[in-house]
Amino acid sequence: MEKITEMTPALFGILLLVVFWLIVRNVFKALSNKINNAELYKEDTLKVLEEIRDELKELNKYNSAK
């Protein structure tokens, strides 16, 4: 029984480190996901804007030909 009480602070410290590591890991994971989603959104927005630009160019050519 004395060995268990002697090891309790060490086990508690290890447990706290594990919990702290899991929290930090989840925070960085969430931050990474937000950054990746922002990049995907940016790419999608650029694709849409390029399509709009191309359509406007075609309309401009069609209207200038008249």
- Residue 66: pLDDT band (50, 70, 90) is low
pLDDT in tens, 23-57: 999 999 999 999 889 988 999 999 999 999 999 99
Burial 6-24 (b: 16+ CB within 10 A, else e): eeeeeeeeeeeeeeeeeee
Our CA angle for 49, 53, 56, nearest 5°, is 135
DSSP the chain: -HHHHHHHHHHHHHHHHHHHHHHHHHHHHHHHHHHHHHHHHHHHHHHHHHHHHHHHHHHHHHHHH-
pLDDT at 18: 97
Domain boundaries, the chain: 25-66
pLDDT at 46: 95
- Has residue 13 got a pLDDT over 70? yes
